[in-house]
């Protein structure tokens, strides 16, 4: 075991082991729990940093464990996996700080943080998965470890939301498993390969491959909240705010989108997928999801529900970018994986702060809240403008490349989707901002807690401000070396090289 095989394993273990230890901590061992949580998050981020540097300098990180006859569990670092791992590890750190602040004094914290760590373990595991089997394994693990977080509050509403979450995700997992086995019996391998491993197959199998593609996309689309599989996401909003952040930005939804990217590029290969004729339907499905999610978001008064429908819409940008089947659109889609994560986590952090500090859950209660909580609402505003795609924020970069890529690939209709979606984004975000900044605040807030001179607890505010700053930075510094945009260019060159 040398450094190059140990590193992927260490990155997975760096949250698995602390997570398992946390389960055995008593509720009142607050210091030990916080230390473990923070240490795990920092160590993981450091390890990811080392690996990022290594991958950029051409090192090859891979570990294999025999798992089934002829099939290994493979953890491997390639540029695409690094994109997701880095995103998850960074946002996990922010979410950990936030969760520690958020769950102060609530019951069952050991259980919560235990599953919280396992959830991130599953996420980095599926990001580093080197074949479809490993991906499926961690994908299912992610379902199992997020369920206790969704039902954490233990209320009847939470139980029902958890049930719905399971019906969707376990069903999706089953489709994914079936498709994976089928693929294995046809191709004899499941190893992720740049530009896919299926193009050599006999043309007799093409109909089967199309069915497999549909099954895979359906299985992954559940977590990515593509219509008609998005129903669980808005209902899962009963979970505590850090869990929402995890679901929407760090782990679950991203895992689905990332899986679709993997399937299209490294299982089928984009050119082969396009020749099977499956990319255009996928692009249409993604477009429909984008418009539908935005339309539904317009009519939600509950802040977290509006954000949830916004996620339904925004995550499909990633899928759209992939399905348009051109290198520039790919850049737009992949970079949105990062940008959407950073922006959406900011918004959810802020929504949680509003609920915890002032008891605000509905948009109609947000009049004048900008005056009471200027920092929080400033962060929220940056996130919202990012979502709308206003320059110079991160979201603008994504949309720019998506639009350019669609034109480049000769799919002009996508421009209209992007335009319509941006209008809708503005239509559901701007009224919130207007209320918050320009309307007069009410005489009293629904359920106010005092934090002295500060507007709220620093552990809640700091992560939100930092991710808002990131949103700005990712947009302004998009062309700097080591930025996500540059990294995504690096990935795209490999997938489209002649």
Partner 1 sequence: MTGDIVGIPWIVVLIVLPLTGGMACFLFPTISKSLGLIFALAIFTAVVGLGWQLVEQGAQRYAIGGWGASLGIDLYADGLSLLMLVTAALVGLGVSVYSGAYFSREKAKHFWPLWLLLWAALNALFLSADIFNLYVTLELLGLAAVALIALADGADALNSAMRYLLVSLLGSLFYLLGVALLYHSFGSLDIAILAQRMEPTPAVWSAVGLMSAGLLLKTALFPMHFWLPAAHACAPAPVSALLSALVVKASFYILLRLWLEVFALTDTSLGQLLGLLGATAVLWGGIQALRQTRLKLLIAYSTVAQLGYLFLAFPLGTNIAWKGACYMLLSHAIAKAAMFMAAGNILRFCGHDRIADLDRIAQRLPLTLTAFALAGVSIMGLPPSGGFIGKWLLLEASMSAGQWWWAVILILGGLLAAAYFFRVIGYAFTRAGLTHEVGVVPARMEWAALVLALAAILLGFISPAALELMGIGTPFGGERAG
Contact residues toward partner 1 (CB under 8 A) are 23, 65-69, 108, 111, 136-137, 140-141, 143-144, 147-148, 151, 154-156, 158-159, 162-163, 166, 170-171, 173-175, 177-178, 181-182, 184-185
Which residue lies nearer to partner 1 by CB, 105 or 440? 105
Shortest distance, CB of residue 114 to partner 1, whole angstroms? 10
Shortest distance, CB of residue 51 to partner 1, whole angstroms? 24
Shortest distance, CB of residue 359 to partner 1, whole angstroms? 21
- The sign one gets for the Cα dihedral 49, 53, 56, 59 is negative
Which residue lies nearer to partner 1 by CB, 143 or 456? 143
Which residue lies nearer to partner 1 by CB, 43 or 144? 144
Q: Which residues contact 63 (CB under 8 A, 6 or more apart)?
A: 5, 6, 8, 9, 74, 75, 76
Shortest distance, CB of residue 205 to partner 1, whole angstroms? 12
User: Nearest-5° angle of CA 250, CA 253, CA 255?
Assistant: 75
Q: Which helix (H) or strand (E) holds 439?
A: none
Q: Which helix (H) or strand (E) holds 67?
A: strand 61-68
Which residue lies nearer to partner 1 by CB, 143 or 357? 143
Burial 193-211 (b: 16+ CB within 10 A, else e): ebbbbbeeeeeeeeeebee
Counts of helices then strands in the chain (DSSP H, E): 20, 2
Report d(CA 443, CA 166) in Å as an integer: 42
Q: Report yes or no: 313 and 218 within 8 Å, Cβ to Cβ.
A: no
Which residue lies nearer to partner 1 by CB, 242 or 386? 242
Tokens of 418: 């992007």
Nearest to 460 by CA among 309, 382, 355, 314: 355
Shortest distance, CB of residue 166 to partner 1, whole angstroms? 5
Which residue lies nearer to partner 1 by CB, 141 or 390? 141
Which residue lies nearer to partner 1 by CB, 155 or 494? 155
Which residue lies nearer to partner 1 by CB, 143 or 244? 143
As a dihedral over the C-alpha atoms of residue 421, residue 424, residue 429, residue 435, rounded to 10 degrees, the angle is 170
Which residue lies nearer to partner 1 by CB, 23 or 434? 23
β-bridge partners, 74? 64
CA atoms within 13 A on the CB side of 305: 14
Q: Which helix (H) or strand (E) holds 61?
A: strand 61-68
Shortest distance, CB of residue 140 to partner 1, whole angstroms? 5
Shortest distance, CB of residue 103 to partner 1, whole angstroms? 16
Shortest distance, CB of residue 379 to partner 1, whole angstroms? 33
Q: Which residues contact 227 (CB under 8 A, 6 or more apart)?
A: 285, 288, 289, 292, 293, 312
Q: Report yes or no: 137 and 176 within 8 Å, Cβ to Cβ.
A: no
Shortest distance, CB of residue 174 to partner 1, whole angstroms? 5
Place of tokens 């230890």: 21
Q: Report yes or no: 128 and 85 within 8 Å, Cβ to Cβ.
A: yes
Which residue lies nearer to partner 1 by CB, 220 or 461? 220
Shortest distance, CB of residue 149 to partner 1, whole angstroms? 11
Other beta carbons within 10 angstroms of residue 134's beta carbon come to 25
The packing angle between helices 374-388 and 327-358, to 10°, is 150
């Amino acid at each position: 075991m040398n450094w190059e095989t140990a590193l992927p394993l260490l990155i997975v273990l760096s949250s698995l082991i602390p997570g398992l230890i946390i389960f055995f901590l008593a509720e009142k061992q607050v210091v030990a729990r916080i230390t473990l949580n923070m240490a795990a998050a920092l160590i993981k981020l450091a390890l990811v940093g080392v690996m990022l540097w290594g991958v950029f300098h051409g090192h090859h990180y891979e570990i294999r464990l025999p798992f089934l006859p002829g099939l290994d569990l493979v953890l491997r670092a390639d540029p695409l996996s690094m994109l997701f791992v880095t995103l998850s590890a960074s946002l996990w750190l922010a979410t950990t700080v936030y969760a520690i602040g958020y769950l102060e004094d609530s019951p069952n914290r050991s259980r919560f943080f235990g599953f919280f760590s396992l959830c991130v373990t599953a996420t980095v595991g599926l990001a580093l998965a080197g074949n479809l089997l490993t991906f499926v394994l961690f994908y299912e693990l992610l379902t199992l470890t997020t369920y206790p977080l969704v039902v954490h509050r233990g209320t009847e509403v939470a139980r029902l939301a958890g049930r719905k979450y399971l019906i969707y995700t376990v069903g999706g997992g089953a489709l994914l498993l079936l498709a994976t086995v089928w693929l294995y019996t046809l191709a004899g391998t499941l190893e992720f390969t740049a530009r896919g491993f299926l193009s050599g197959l006999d043309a007799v199998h093409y109909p089967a491959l199309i069915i497999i593609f549909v099954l895979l996309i359906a299985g992954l689309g559940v977590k990515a909240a593509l219509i008609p599989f998005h129903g669980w996401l808005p209902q899962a909003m009963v979970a505590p705010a850090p869990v929402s952040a995890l679901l929407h930005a760090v782990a679950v939804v991203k895992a689905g989108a990332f899986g679709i990217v993997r399937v299209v590029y490294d299982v089928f290969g984009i050119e082969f997928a396009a020749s099977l004729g499956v990319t255009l339907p996928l692009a249409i499905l993604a477009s429909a999801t984008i418009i539908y999610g935005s339309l539904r978001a317009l009519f939600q008064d509950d802040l977290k529900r509006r954000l949830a429908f916004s996620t339904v819409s925004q995550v499909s940008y990633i899928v759209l970018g992939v399905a348009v089947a051109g290198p520039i659109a790919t850049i737009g889609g992949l970079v949105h994986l990062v940008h959407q994560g950073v922006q959406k986590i900011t918004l959810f952090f802020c929504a949680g702060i509003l609920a915890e500090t002032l008891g605000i859950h509905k948009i109609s209660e947000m009049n004048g809240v900008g005056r009471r909580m200027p920092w929080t609402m400033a962060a929220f505003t940056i996130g919202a403008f990012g979502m709308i795609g206003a320059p110079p924020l991160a979201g603008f970069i994504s949309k720019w490349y998506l639009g350019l890529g669609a034109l480049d690939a000769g799919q002009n209709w996508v421009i209209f989707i992007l335009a319509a979606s941006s209008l809708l984004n503005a239509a559901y975000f701007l009224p919130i901002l207007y209320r918050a900044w320009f309307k007069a605040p009410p005489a009293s807030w629904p359920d106010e807690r005092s934090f002295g001179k500060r507007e709220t607890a620093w552990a809640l505010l700091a992560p939100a401000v930092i991710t808002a700053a990131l949103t700005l930075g990712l947009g302004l510094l998009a062309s700097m070396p080591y930025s996500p945009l540059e990294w995504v260019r690096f990935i795209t060159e490999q997938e489209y090289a002649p």
